[in-house]
Structure 1
């Protein structure tokens, strides 16, 4: 029997399946407003410039909160922060639904940022805590595939509810999913004691020496720089302005949601096989290759108005992002230990938040 099937047999257990189920729900929640938010904001009176600034608040919130939330999970345990993140999703989505004008959207955008850093990167830390190093790449592949699958469902739900009931109602549906995820996490996730065996960043509130040691790891530094570049493109060009561009060339809201769903399905399909490969392929070449492909796709999207061509390009972009996500997060998990893995994934997400902060603003000017 080959090593790969044996690996997946070892991973077919409660700890792995439950965190993948939680993150599937979390990405449904995140996906619900993806085709809706730019249209909702402009409908409330936001100009393209203001839309870029509001969108960038997600990056600012993640930039500010990613490392503290990761450190908090090193102290309190992953479960508490993961469940709290799902509750924060629900609170932020209710705030979105109550928005009387575009300016109101700044607050829920920041709350959503905290919810995101309290769920997605900490799920990787949870995986790193419960899975042996030899199986970690495969486990992260399954985990990120669950993320992508949820994000395939979310835009379909959000666009359908928005088209039939309205934009605020789409956010309320997302809030309901978030609360269901919080209950699931509280019941099913395993509470683990903080890791031992090294200098804990979380044992002091912020150990600057331990942080400097972590960022000096070549793999950590490379992954963080690559994440800045990827989120600069993805958040700016794909998530913020693609829905508006697609709407301008005559594509309906429901169809835009379908395009994002196809992107997520394609992205998720490549993540499981990429998991074992991520431990064999040099991360630096994988990440550079994906970034070059991302740049080419952005240019191609700007030069086509065909719904079929846009679907194909968005699918290719999704596949590339899936490869990037598995390789980058596997590298981060391998570069850290149980005592500082929450801080490591927080640092990785904080780096991505730099691109997420400036991408929408620069492209909106």
Structure 2
């Protein structure tokens, strides 16, 4: 069995476990804290408008910090940045537990709360690019899609933990325990990082030969992804395809309740189906595209399928609008049809993340993985920041069909962004083993024929 710095090849699964834990820790914060909104308002004495402002600071902090953290990761290495980010995020959460939680003698104002949430977003944005770079370094070309897809499931997994744990803590123990629990999760992830995350040195995986690994270690870094139009196009596609995903995550419950007059059980079942289906689809698509070498084709398929499903949802919603205007309960078959389209669209709009970030990192090349992943995460979180603000305006002006048509339009914009470039020349001094783009089987056969 091959070894890396005295560790067996199977050590890469421990590194993947650290990536999952780190992403889940931060996902529990940026998705779990908003789940406590019902308790935040009375505890801090703020209104709904102020609540939206302070919660928006979490997303704003991530948007502002992703790219600087990614650039730092490529300079310092994933282990240092991951440890620094987890430790500083833990410190910010502990500070919130000590001085930012409401008590009988002191209730922080909305500006202090917003500053605390902004700091959590700014510091926690470090885990995305650094953990992704670690996973990409330890897994070979035929496993990276699966590994990155598994890592991406940590986001809905951590969000589920936060949504289940934090509201209960806020209700029964107070917000000091909310922040303390999140700090403890960051501490656990930091300990796992210290134990297991290392830079691979020498033959790193079963899928990479020693010769190609030696070339990787001496290869010159690729040109900065910030100056490559192809990378920016991929980032734009990621941001665009996140829009319909965010529309479902944030407003599916409102749609089913207000428009479909569905009960809480049906609404919860639909949202659970979206999350479970998306997690399964991410892992399956990662493995499938690893075997077939067709990441771009899969991304374009997801974009096209999402656009079609949301157009059908918009049409079905428009057809049912008359019954809603008359304040009539939708027939059961109509509600089931809307739910099926909503769930299918949500899954299609969420199934591609691991594959997209794998292709983005591969496209960036040697020494630029952290920067490229940070660019992709910035685009994704811009969507998570903008979509909840735009959707209410569309809804108020034009109704639900316009919301779903806008989601379909965003998916359609992503389709050309995922087109594979005709060529991807390596920089001077770089080797083919340095995170080279996936070679499609047909292209490989054509190249062999040409060589013959």
TM-score for the superposition, normalised by structure 1: 0.74
Which residue of structure 2 aligns with residue 197 of structure 1? Answer: 219
Partner of 1:104: 112
C-alpha distance in 2 between matches for 1:111 and 1:256:
33
For residues 68-147 of structure 1, what are the structure 2 equivalents within 5 Å?
Answer: 68-97=68-97, 98-99=100-101, 100-147=108-155
CA distance in 1, matches of 2:341, 2:185: 30
Residue 199 of structure 1 deviates from its aligned partner by 3.7
Distance 2:67 2:361 in 1: 15
Q: Distance in 1 between matches of 2:173 and 2:131?
A: 33
Q: Say if 2:291 is the partner of 1:280.
A: no
Q: Could you say if the C-alpha distance between residues 40 and 159 of structure 1 is closer, same or farther in structure 2, counting changes exceeding 3 Å? A: closer
Contact kept in structure 2, 1:49 and 1:364, CA below 8 Å: no
Q: Any stretches of 5+ residues in structure 2 without a counterpart?
A: 1-7, 102-107, 202-215, 394-452
Check the 8 A contact 1:70/1:345 in 2, yes or no.
Answer: yes
SS at the partner of 1:133?
coil
Structure 2 counterpart of 1:351: 379
Give the drift of 1:70: 0.7
Q: Which structure's CA Rg is the greater one?
A: 2
User: d(CA) in 2 for partners of 1:316 and 1:362?
Assistant: 23
- Tell me if 1:266 matches 2:277: yes
TM superposition shift of 1:227:
2.5
Distance 2:302 2:141 in 1: 21
Tell me what 2:307 maps to.
Answer: 292
Q: Give the drift of 1:126.
A: 1.6
CA shift in 2, pair 1:232/1:160, >3 Å: same
The structure-2 alpha-carbon separation of the partners of 1:233 and 1:37, relative to structure 1 and needing over 3 Å to count, comes to farther
Q: Confirm or deny that 1:334 pairs with 2:353.
A: no
- Give how far 1:291 is off: 4.6
Of the candidates 18, 21, 24, which is equivalent to residue 24 of structure 1? 21
Counterpart of 1:165 in structure 2 is: 173
**Higher RCO, 1 or 2 (CA under 8 Å, sep at least 6)?**
1
Aligned-pair distance for 1:48? 4.1
Change (3 A) 1:340 1:237: same
Q: How far apart, in 1, do the equivalents of 2:369 and 2:169 lie? A: 38
Q: Does 1:186 align with 2:194?
A: yes
Provide, for residues 82-140 of structure 1, a one-character-per-residue CA deviation record: whole Å limited to 9, x for no partner. Answer: 12222233234335542423332322322232344311232222222222222221222
1:178 deviates by: 1.2
Q: Check the 8 A contact 2:89/2:183 in 1, yes or no.
A: yes
Q: Structure 1 residues 315 and 230, CA, compared in 2 at 3 Å: closer, same or farther?
A: same
- State the Cα distance separating 1:52 from its structure 2 match: 3.6
- 1: CA distance, partners of 2:281 / 2:294: 16
Cα offset, 1:267, TM superposition: 2.7
TM-score by length of 2: 0.62
CA contact under 8 A between 1:56 and 1:356: conserved in structure 2? no
Cα-Cα RMSD:
4.1
Report Cα offsets for 1:239-269 as digits up to 9, x if no partner. 5x678899999989xx999987665443322
Residue 225 (structure 1) aligns with = 236
Aligned partners of 1:155, 1:15: CA distance in 2, in Å?
30
1:20-74 CA-to-partner distances (Å, cap 9, x unmatched) read 3442353145235255243344333444444443333333322322121111111
* 1:340 Cα deviation after fit: 0.7
Preserved contact between residue 152 and residue 264 of structure 1 (Cα < 8 Å)? no
Partner of 1:7: none
Partner Cα distance (1:117, 1:85) in 2: 8
- Any idea what the Cα deviations from partners look like across 1:281-309, whole Å, max 9, x if unmatched? 514413423653785699799x9999x98
- The 2-side partners of 1:16 and 1:191 are apart by 14
Number of paired residues? 341
